Amino acid sequence: MHYGEQTIAYLSLGSNLGDRAANLLRALTRFVSSQMILTAVSPVYQTEPVDYSDQPEFLNMAIAVTGFSGDPFSLLKFCLEAERELGRVRTIPRGARIIDIDLLMFGDQVIDDASHGVNLTLPHPRMHLRRFVMTPMKDIAPLLRHPLSGHTMSGILDALEDSSSVRIYRG
């Protein structure tokens, strides 16, 4: 959960509009160009949409970053600004999008609050229910423990009831 003395943040990235792989790469570049260090990057997965199914399939991945100066609210604000700069337009909740960047965990912090003009719940309230999130999380941090349940990412994925399709993207 810590990289040296710095907290590790875990994020989920997804795209299902346009050149999905290029969109993910542009998002990764945004983190690196902001002086953050990518400490782990999962494979890219092709996944079927969940909740709102009338949309194209997604490409999803998980990353771990450190080197961010600020608190989790500032990091979430950075993610929302990156989405906007990369062309995300919010129309239908959980609908199709050029890029989606979700802050899943920030160290072992548990937060349900608003600050810096954003609402934040950590750990992400639906991460443990979603195969498209937990599969790449298991890849980058299999023994990482969920701060509320105490279960590892591997254990959560193994017990998951979500049967949606998640498969390695071959490009």
Catalytic sites, residue numbers:
88, 97, 100, 102
| Upstream peptide bond of 49 is cis (omega within 30 degrees of 0) | no
- Distances in Å between the Cα of 158 and the Cα atoms of 12, 59, 115, 124 are 19, 21, 35, 19
109: phi then psi, degrees, rounded to nearest 5: -70, 140
Tokens of 54: 């009338």
Q: Rounded to whole angstroms, how far apart are CA atoms 21 and 56?
A: 14
37, with CB counted inside 10 A (0-12, 13-18, 19+), is middle
